[in-house]
A and B are shown apart, each in its own frame.
Chain A
Amino acid sequence: MEFNGLLTATVFLPLAGAIVIAALLRSGGKVHLFATLVLLADLVLSGLVLSLYDRGGAERFQIIDRFNWFGEGAIIGSASFTASYHLAVDGLSAPLVLLTGLLGLAAVLASWSIQTRVKEYFVWLLVLQTAVMGVFAAQDFLLFFLFWELELVPMYMLISIWGTGRKEYSAMKFLVFTILGGAFMLVGIIAVALTSNLATFDMTQLSLMGISSSSVVPVGLIFWFFVAAFAIKLPVWPVHTWLPDAHTDAPTAVSIMLAGVLLKMGGYGLIRVCVGMFPELEHAQTYAWVLAVLAVVGVLYGAIVTLRQTDLKRLIAYSSVSHMGLVLLGVAVGVGGGTLFGSDSENVAGLALAGASMQMFTHGTITGLLFLLVGLVYEKAHTRYIPDLGGLAGRMPLIACGFLIAGLASLGLPGLSGFVAEVMVFLGSFKAFAWPTALAAFGIVIAAGYILWMLERVLFGPRKERFDLITDASILEAAPAVMLTASIVVIGVYPSLLTDYFGAGIAHLSQVSDLVSAGK
């Protein structure tokens, strides 16, 4: 048993806050403030997690909280099982914990205008935060699954009660897709437990040793169970259709969380489990090609469909499908690992995976910012329908400025964080998949098209008469946007702040040779 306590506090502080709100506070202005303070404290804690993680240290997993939950002798068949309460982070998950903290605060700040069923709303928002944090921190498969499924409840409530449009339909669609993914994962977890030579649910051990021997279920099948689970979450084409609906009908804060961190659970799972725990996968090269093709289809298809969207939220949602394709491309290289690189050329899978991780973080902040701003525009203009908007820049310079920066970051402008991630993915995957990567790179041209066209139609041109009295963001409204913008610029200018962490995290994956030799 080890107990550091920091991660437990980071994960459960929001839940504790939710209980306090539910039990002690009366509905009113205080609830906003209290929830904000809780998530501010949580951001501080998550920042602490990142800064305390020693990326040069000998131990991969750090800041450990672990004690036995049940087992130490529970017999199923001939194997003995242990399940434990086990939280820890490595270089891969520590930045994602910070991302969750960052976007959690942004989301709660974006919720100050909520009027209906205020208390309940903030309770669910805080529960959601605990669930997502838990997914990134959990190192035991059962616990991981628990957090994974826990996230569904608040999401369903938040979309179906506080959403707009066809909110019940969208909430149900989200639920069905995710539960389906969860089912695949559960089968995978059980299969791992049954087949693993280690007879354990412990993810750190599985990460270190890899899932190798098989007795009942072929390893390849387990691999695809997990891929299916995480692919739905990411989402991967063609199981992406829940995303635009959920985004469009969710309240602003939920869109921020959904795009910002929930999708990253899928990408994180792919890297942590599908890449990290299957070092000796048969047919890895073929699987990698399948994933790479899906990735490129996702990038281009997502980008082209984005061009056609007329609802601001839907537009950004589809752009997420395109951007997450790049995460999958990096993952594909990771899955193939050494099999993709000839013996004479350098294995740069680590670069692609670090790029995919960077893409998750940067997409989280950039798209979070975009949804935040769309929320503000919607609040003030009462429409998200692009043809009805126009010429807003003159009356809302702050929002326009934020929109511009977020948009430029989204299309991969150097100096802003999205560029670094995209270039890392491209550099890492070009060697393994030259043509698919070149095709995916065409996505940046389409991205320039849909982003700039969107900005043109929303912000520029002559102002429509009914927006003559529209107001800019207040300081409170602008605060989360400024916070996210700052992170986008800082990481864009000096990406080593994050790449050092991700590099250290990725270097421990066995398929990766280039970062291991670097001794990170």
Chain B
Amino acid sequence: MIQEAAVWAIFLLPLGSFVAIALVIRPFLNRFSGLAALTTITTIGASFALSLVALGSVIDNGEVLFAPHEWLSLGALQINLGIILDPLTSIMLVVVTGVSLMVQVYSLGYMRGDPGFARYYALMSLFTASMIGLVIASNVVQLYVFWELVGVCSYLLIGFWFTRPAAAAAAKKAFVVTRIGDLGFLIAILYLFFNTAAFAENGLNALEIADISAGVQLGLLGGTALTLMVMGIFAGAMGKSAQFPLHIWLPDAMEGPTPVSSLIHAATMVAAGVFLIARFFPVVEASVHAMQIIALVGAITAIFAATMGLVMNDIKRVLAYSTISQLGYMVAALGVGAYVPAIFHLFTHAFFKALLFMGAGSVNHASGTFDMRYMGGLRKYMPWTYMLVLIGSLSLAGIFPLSGFWSKDEILAHAWGGGSTVDTVVFWLLFAAVPMTAFYIFRMVFMTFHGEFRGGVEAEEQDAGIPSHQGEHKVHLAESPWVMVLPMGLLAVASVVAGGLVNPVVDILGIPAHWFADFLGGKSDIILSLAGLSLAVAVLGIGTAVFLFLVPNLLPGPLGAPFRLAHHLLSRKYYMDELLEGGVTRRGFYGVGGGSLDWMDRKIIDNFAETIGWSSMNFGRVVALLQTGQAQGYVLIVTLGAIVIGGVFFAFMWT
């Protein structure tokens, strides 16, 4: 059985790494910035090891309970800090620390020589620590604290190269957009505390997550209020997990260093939203309406993002829309009640998406660009990267027997088996996204690795009219160093074998069938005929990509005149940025709303105050006329005043 101190250590080690780098290494030892990387990798490695111990402990003994500690106590309010170590948390811990460890090692190569090297590792440590804090939190306020810290870490890392205006803007956008969702989460917390007296009567604390589930079972929360509260929690999840229409921050977030994207898209930021719904699943499940909304939002997001992924030319943007789409799968899965498949998809997706982003970073290392129109043919120069990205892509496309196949088909099977109208709609939306997923990811593979090399960043700058400097070579066509390839290899192994954890058919290597579902205490299954069908459409998607992008003459492949309009709409991202950022926010809220209030403040309110001041000054002038300097006049006034005051005084005395 794992000790409480050991679980805290999983969280405190990377936090300590952040403090050490921020307060000691960065200010005083910046010349030895390698120390920062060393500290980070060591501490996160230790956290990973402890997470495995924790997982083992939970596998052996089931959920481990720890008593919480008081953090803030004031009358009816009691906020505790504590740990939940249940199957969900123990799996998340392994995913977070494992993927983070791979990313930190990878960054050794990718970030080498960056002037902000120490700052980078400090923030990555804090990011990891925050995410760990989030998954172990036993109190909803505690969870919210780390929820926000995860948000701010992604702000700082997306804006890591802060001298680039696009990076600074993307960072701000990420934080503000997710905060709109956070507002819903916050109000849900306020509503929980609203019911604190009812909870207290039953000996429960309305802010303890375990007690909230218990309270819902006792019927302390219910009806419309419960639905609204769940929608509040879901709003938080929509922001972090980039669900439509709060998805707009995620594609921009690629302005951060690529390993950051790898971490954000796999193990930290976006996983937080799905985790939040999973954490409150007993509560969420109690509201049928909320479940339906969640399922529909997820399914719409899945297909909506997949369509945009079809046409992007930036390799990281393809992956970003892919992430949004896959998160849609997970959210939809939770909405149709497929708890285990959702977590399983989060689990498998973390590995292959981290891998794919690292692959994108690796090809950027060689070609200097992220624009796939200037790549091509990299297969010859970087065979390892090619092979590993291929594994990740096959897994994402859901090809048997890679892990993505299992997790995706479990979701489809569950939606199919649901039976209600919403379930059916969700199923068809998700099913339609399957071939699109296969298509866009193989379009990416072919544009990047196949055909002839199209010049990389040098050609890109030439086309953009940026003068190139003599003798400067920004393109280095070679395989990336082993510190970058090794983590990718390990993640590829995980992407291949993770499916075995769930396989519903037979026992493999001593892992019993349905192991994952049994561990999480839920159900998951796969419908073989359905899986065959989805496999077939996925292959169809790949085939289309082959036809369009592997046959040389069609490259770079405009989809033809009939599709031009659709292509335009998709590549402009359905004009969502223009609508929400330009229209609603800049023109509407800032321009009209802010402008009119600002005008009112200056012209009306301030003017009103000044008018009063001005009129009292004029009043003063009038009164000043009485000051004639003649003593007789003063005496007269004083006498009159005294009579009036005396009259008033005596009037009161005699009543």
Contacts and interface: CB of A to CB of B under 8 A. Distances in A.
Contact of B597 (A304, A393, A463): A304
Given A308-B594, A444-B179, A431 B194 contact: yes
A445 B597 contact: no
Interface in B560-618: 589-590, 593-595, 597-598, 601, 605-606, 608-609, 613
Given A176-B613, A241-B605, A499 B75 contact: no
Interface in A328-385: 344-346, 348, 350-351, 354
Contact of A496 (B71, B190, B595): B71
Nearest to B173: A452
Contacts of A393: 162-163
Interface stretch (A4-12, A115-123, A146-154, A421-429): A421-429
A430 interface: yes
B304 interface: no
Given A413-B148, A441-B186, A499 B72 contact: yes
Interface string B191-202: 101101100100
Interface in A450-497: 452-453, 455-456, 459-463, 494-496
Contact of B74 (A308, A350, A449): A350
A238 interface: yes
A348 B72 contact: no
Interface string B169-200: 10110011001101100110011011011001
A391 interface: yes
A131 B144 CA distance: 41
A444 to B, nearest CB: 7
A518 B74 contact: yes
B183 A444 contact: yes
A416 to B, nearest CB: 10
Residue of B75, B165, B180 ringed by the most chain A CB atoms within 10 A: B75
A241 B601 contact: yes
A456 B200 CA distance: 45
Nearest to B191: A430
A462 B194 contact: no
A456 B601 contact: no
A288 to B, nearest CB: 18
Given A452-B155, A456-B172, A427 B190 contact: yes
B172 A216 contact: no
Nearest to B607: A241
A420 to B, nearest CB: 7
Contacts of A494: 71
A452 B172 contact: yes
Interface in A390-414: 391, 393-394, 408, 413-414
Contacts of B171: 452, 456
Nearest to A426: B190
A452 B74 contact: no
Interface residues of A, number: 63
Contacts of A431: 193-194
A294 interface: no
A453 B196 CA distance: 37
B191 A442 contact: no
A295 to B, nearest CB: 16
A413 to B, nearest CB: 6
A304 B594 contact: yes
B148 A453 contact: no
Contacts of B606: 241
Contacts of A448: 175-176, 179
A394 B116 CA distance: 11
A486 to B, nearest CB: 11
B412 interface: no
A221 to B, nearest CB: 16
B73 interface: yes
Interface in A263-312: 301, 304-305, 307-308
B168 interface: yes
Nearest to B197: A346
B162 A460 contact: yes
Contacts of B168: 456, 460-461
Contacts of B598: 304-305, 308
B456 interface: no
A113 interface: no
Contacts, number: 145
A430 B193 contact: yes
B149 interface: yes
A interface, over-half SS: helix
B530 interface: no
A426 B144 CA distance: 14
A272 B159 CA distance: 45
A517 B74 CA distance: 10
B152 A408 contact: yes
Contacts of A424: 74, 77
A208 interface: no
Interface string A189-230: 000000000000000000000000000100000000000000
Contacts of A427: 77, 190, 193
Contacts of B613: 173, 176
B75 A423 contact: no
B163 A354 contact: no
B210 interface: no
A74 interface: no
Contact of A499 (B74, B183, B196, B197): B74
Contacts of B71: 494-496
Nearest to A321: B601
B194 A216 contact: no
Contact of A394 (B163, B165, B200, B605): B163
A47 interface: no
A496 B73 contact: yes
A346 B593 CA distance: 38
A460 B597 contact: no
A453 B172 contact: yes
Given A308-B598, A413-B152, A348 B75 contact: yes
A477 to B, nearest CB: 16
B141 interface: yes
Contact of B183 (A238, A346, A423, A442): A442
B636 interface: no
A226 to B, nearest CB: 21
Contacts of B200: 346
A52 interface: no
Contacts of B187: 438, 441
B145 interface: yes
Contacts of A437: 190
Contact of B76 (A239, A346, A499): A346
B163 A461 contact: yes
Interface string B75-87: 1110000000000
A462 B144 contact: no
Contacts of B152: 408, 413
Given A408-B152, A462-B165, A414 B144 contact: yes
B482 to A, nearest CB: 33
Nearest to A215: B652
A503 B74 contact: yes
Contacts of A19: none
A246 B171 CA distance: 33
A72 interface: no
A442 B146 CA distance: 20
Residue of B77, B164, B167, B608 ringed by the most chain A CB atoms within 10 A: B77
B183 A441 contact: yes
Given A354-B74, A431-B193, A460-B165, 16 more contacts: A241-B606, A301-B601, A305-B601, A308-B590, A308-B594, A350-B75, A351-B77, A394-B163, A415-B149, A430-B194, A441-B183, A441-B186, A460-B159, A460-B163, A461-B162, A461-B163
5 contacts: A304-B594, A305-B598, A344-B197, A441-B187, A444-B179
Interface of B: 71-77, 141, 144-146, 148-149, 152, 155, 159, 162-165, 167-169, 171-172, 175-176, 179-180, 182-183, 186-187, 190-191, 193-194, 196-197, 200, 589-590, 593-595, 597-598, 601, 605-606, 608-609, 613, 652
